[in-house]
Amino acid sequence: MPAAEIIAQFDAEMQALIAEVETISPPVTTIGRRSFLKLAGFAGGGLMLAFHFDARTAHAENGTGPTVLNAFVRVAPDNTVTIYSKGPEIGQGIKTAFGLIIAEELDADWKTVKVDQAPINPKVYGYQGAGGSTSIPRGWDQLRQAGATARAMLIAAAAKQWNVPVSECTAADSVVTHKPSGRNLTYGALAKAASEQPVPDVAKVPLKTRADYKLLGKRFTGVDNLKVVTGQPLFGIDVQMPGMLYANYIKCPAVGGKVKSANLDEIKKMPGVVDAFVLDGTGTPAEVMPGVAIIAKTTWEAFKAKEALKVEWDESTASKDSLTQAAAKAKEIAAQMPTPETNVGDVDAAFASSAKVVEASYDYAMVSHQQLEPQNSTAWWHDGTMEIWTPSQMADRGMTMVANMLKLPEDKVTVHQTRAGGGFGRRLANDYMCEAAAIAMKVNGPVKLQWKREDDFAHDFFRAGGYHFLKGGVDKSGKLSAFQNHLVSFSADGKRPVSGGGRSNNSFPTDMAANVRYAVSLMPLQIPCGPWRAPTDNVQMFVIGSFLHELSVAAECDHVEFLLNWFSRPLAKAQGPQQGPPPDPSRTFNPTRAAGVLKLVAEKSGWNKKLPHGRGLGIAFGFSYGGHVAEAVELSVDAKKHVTVHKITVAADIGPIINLSGAENQVQGGAIDALSTAMGLEIAVEQGRIQQTNFSSYPILRMSSAPPVEAHFIQSDFRPSGLGEPCVPPLAAALGNAIFAATGERVRTMPFKRAGYTI
């Protein structure tokens, strides 16, 4: 299949995957009454949650060790509580946050809580991936119910033992107390009896209100920090099994190429090399592309053999893309605006009567993920089972993919979730897991597939670049009255933009004004693209946030005032009958929440304070992946266009905060990641080949350029939303707006390095 078809199919899968990740369907896997009557000892009706299955079948497990109360909670006789985190820890802090949510409702003593990684078992746990900043909002009900139902069972056991009403008992810090008599029993003493209690009807178990929280909202150190700072093996790349071999997998640098010939005999003679073979692959970068596997006794011997490997590639079906050619093409296409896909009001009349009209073109480069732990997985084909250890962000899906790929029943694939040294969206794909499994079928014993850093550059799933040709009109009262954009984007299938390359998913920043015309042109791209932290928004909000500033400047209106007016613009009502569930208000653009964070960031950054020459303050707002976030950047620019960022101020409303320390860390990390990317990162492609091969040509920001980032939270009374992504999109526009304030020069490209700026 030619690269175009391979990539078209891959892109469709990626877009479907992202849609699945971002959609939080009604939470909790529930099972009806009928299936439960089959289980011995189940008393009462109502709905039982799937995670209680474990408790029933694990009954036999409950000997002298910890007692299983449900799939999320075990209690040991010494009163230590083990909570299982069902999602992957990739640095976003959910292992700690999930532990806290359950511990809160369980009323466990956090000091004696241990959080362990749950097995990959979606039948019991439901969804077990992490992406779209959905872990906390998606797990919110299920996790609280896991804690609350276990607590109810512990209280019921105590009440039974004391022969008192449940209503006279209370629980706190892993102890149940009978209030009138003061008698108490620890969870450890009660656990066995609790596990024999009927599982309560979840509808009848109350959950705490925010006023009752003892843990949530306070500062906690990450549950694995002690292990991290003492160098204990935690990551996929750290897996070690007896007799394990090491693999590297070499694919064509231009996607779609196949192996024509390779010097395998020479490679097999090299020291430590056990085998070398060709895999035809499954035809999609989502699984396994054609390549050569080298199996060796040590990593170094595998890497050395890779250097000596000579492959003749058949590139007849490989990508031949050139991004410099695409840039030239985009300029040509710009003037030929196609039939608009959105045409609301009367844009031409609005422009004609505008007090000010601004036209500008913006563009941004392709960028890469480069999570610090290179891709890897360890796989072992034994006893008819494929057993895999992986740092995936979506190991449950990977398990299904491997089963399908190897034509195995799903219960013959066992997946262990490790910690991941960064994900950023790259690890939502499971190609490295599929590669390890395909290789393991041909290896006798466990084999660890490790990508070199150069492999991560050559075989990323990128964030595409794009080109915007904008026109905006401001009326006499200083309000945005007309907006037009011609987006020139990349496409894998010729029909729609690539994954992450389209218009925003949210109501922000569409519905820009009462009069909107929006057209999209597509240019072919045969480089695989995939979700990059805050897909779509990470580029859209740079363009929109900067352009809105251009408009407020043209209108001679204070930018904060301009945005506040703009927030209260009427949003388009959905046309026709509504399909699907009503939108979740906690994940919908809310003008009050938007105004709240914008005003707070203006206050905390000192908006309108007098600044010396060459120093500027820029502000931007974004609503992305459920979070309302406003950011302010204060910086200086010298005569050589070197930028010193003095401070970034962020105000975020994601509802109730779970772990204040973890949340601040995400704000700081997201803002600086965005700064790093906006200032200096770019991927070049020629002849289908990625030009950057390692960090020397991809300068990720270092400490000396990292400014202090101050985080402020407005904890509005909504369901909590996530924080892995929302602080990324507004930064680049705040940065550009600050440079304009400092210098009078407008940056309309990313990376800003292209406009001569350094940091």
Q: Which of 162, 213, 303, 589 binds other proteins (CB under 8 A)?
A: 303
Q: Is residue 642 a contact point for other proteins (CB under 8 A)?
A: no
Collect all residues with Cβ–Cβ distance below 8 Å to 409 and sequence separation of at least 6: 403
Q: Which of residues 51-90 bind other proteins (CB under 8 A)?
A: 89-90
The answer for residues whose C-beta is within 8 angstroms of residue 548's C-beta and 6 or more apart is: 480, 559, 562, 563, 566, 620, 733
Q: Does residue 489 touch other proteins according to CB under 8 A?
A: no
Return the SS3 of 635: strand
Q: Does 219 bind other proteins (CB under 8 A)?
A: yes
Using CA atoms, how far residue 317 sits from 1, 6, 28, 431, 477, in Å, is 7, 9, 45, 20, 57
370 binds other proteins (CB under 8 A): yes
Among 92, 128, 319, 510, binds other proteins (CB under 8 A): 92
Q: 494 or 708: whose CB is closer to other proteins? A: 708
Cβ proximity to other proteins, 279 vs 394, nearer residue: 394
How far apart are alpha carbons 284 and 286 in whole angstroms?
5
d(CA 619, CA 622): 10
Q: Which one of 312, 583, 592, 695 is in contact with other proteins (CB under 8 A)?
A: 695
Task: Go through 702-714 and write b for each residue having 16 or more CB atoms within 10 A of its CB, e for each that does not.
Answer: eeebbbebbbbbe
Q: Please, what is the Cα angle at 303 between 298 and 305, to 5 degrees?
A: 95
Residue 238 binding other proteins, by CB under 8 A: yes
Applying CB under 8 A, the span of 221-229, 506-514, 520-528, 627-635 interacting with other proteins comes to 221-229
Query: Which region, judged by CB under 8 A, interacts with other proteins, from 470-478, 541-549, 565-573, 694-702?
Result: 694-702
Question: What is the footprint of other proteins within residues 664-693 (CB under 8 A)?
Answer: 665-666, 668-669, 671-673, 676
Decide if residue 235 touches other proteins (CB under 8 A). Answer: yes
Q: Which of 262, 311, 420, 429 binds other proteins (CB under 8 A)?
A: 420
Amino acid identity of residue 601, one-letter, is V
Residue among 452 and 628 whose Cβ is closer to other proteins? 452
How many CA atoms are closer than 13 Å to the CA of 385, on its beta-carbon side? 8
d(CA 10, CA 531): 13
Stretch of 420-428, 580-588, 637-645, 730-738 lying at the interface with other proteins (CB under 8 A): 420-428
Give counts: helices (H), strands (E), the chain. 20, 30
Q: Which is nearer to other proteins, 145 or 666 (CB)?
A: 666
Segment holding 48, helix H or strand E: strand 48-49
**Which residue type does 325 have?**
Q
Query: Where are the extended beta strands (E) located within 345-465?
Result: 356-364, 376-382, 385-390, 413-417, 447-450
Q: Which is nearer to other proteins, 106 or 671 (CB)?
A: 671
Q: With binding defined as CB under 8 A, does residue 224 bind other proteins?
A: yes
- ∠ Cα 78 82 88 (to 5°): 165
Among 125, 187, 220, 381, binds other proteins (CB under 8 A): 220
- End-to-end distance of the chain based on CA atoms, in angstroms? 44
| Residue among 87, 257, 290, 422 that touches other proteins (CB under 8 A) | 422
Nearest distance, CB of residue 436 and other proteins, angstroms: 17
Decide: is 700 part of the binding site for other proteins (CB under 8 A): yes
> 247-286: which residues touch other proteins (CB under 8 A)?
271
State phi, psi for 678 to the nearest 5 degrees. -65, -35
Query: Is 694 an interacting residue with respect to other proteins (CB under 8 A)?
Result: yes
Judged by CB under 8 A, which of 299, 444, 505, 588 binds other proteins? 299
423 neighbors 88 (Cβ within 8 angstroms): yes
- Total chain residues near other proteins (CB under 8 A): 64
* Residue closer to other proteins (CB basis): 407 or 702: 702
In the complex with other proteins, the residue whose CB is nearer, 575 or 704, is 704
Residue type, 458: A
Our CB check for other proteins shows the closer of 126 and 374 to be: 374
Q: Tell me the C-alpha distance between 550 and 544, whole Å.
A: 10
Stretch that binds other proteins, among 120-128, 153-161, 215-223, 739-747 (CB under 8 A): 215-223
CB neighbour list of residue 721: distance below 8 Å, 6 or more residues apart:
133, 136, 137, 586, 587, 625, 626, 627, 654, 655
Among 78, 575, 702, 717, contact with other proteins (rule: CB under 8 A): 702
Q: Is 109 exposed, middle or buried (0-12, 13-18, 19+ CB in 10 A)?
A: middle
Of the two residues 57 and 225, which places its CB atom closer to other proteins in the complex? 225
State the DSSP code for 537: H
Q: Which residues contact 642 (CB under 8 A, 6 or more apart)?
A: 757, 758, 759
Q: What phi and psi, each to the nearest 5 degrees, are found at residue 398?
A: -60, -40
Is 35 a binder of other proteins (CB under 8 A)?
no
25 binds other proteins (CB under 8 A): no
Least CB distance to other proteins at residue 616 (A): 22
CB of 221 to other proteins, least distance (A): 4
* Angle formed by the axes of helices 559-567 and 591-605, nearest 10°: 170
Of the candidates 441, 420, 424, the residue with the CA atom closest to the CA atom of residue 376: 420
CB of 425 to other proteins, least distance (A): 13
Q: Which is nearer to other proteins, 240 or 568 (CB)?
A: 240
What is the full DSSP assignment across 98-113?
HHHHHHHHHT--GGGE
Judged by beta carbon, residue 299 or residue 716, the one nearer other proteins is 299
Cβ of residue 677: shortest distance to other proteins, in angstroms? Answer: 11
Query: Considering only 76-84, 209-217, 299-307, 469-477, which stretch makes contact with other proteins by CB under 8 A?
Result: 299-307
CA distance 138 to 35: 25
* 342 part of the interface to other proteins, by CB under 8 A: no
Question: Is residue 305 a contact point for other proteins (CB under 8 A)?
Answer: no
Binding site for other proteins (CB under 8 A): 89-93, 219-222, 224-226, 228-235, 237-238, 240, 246, 271, 298-300, 303, 370-374, 419-424, 450, 452-453, 661-662, 665-666, 668-669, 671-673, 676, 694-696, 700-704, 706, 708-709
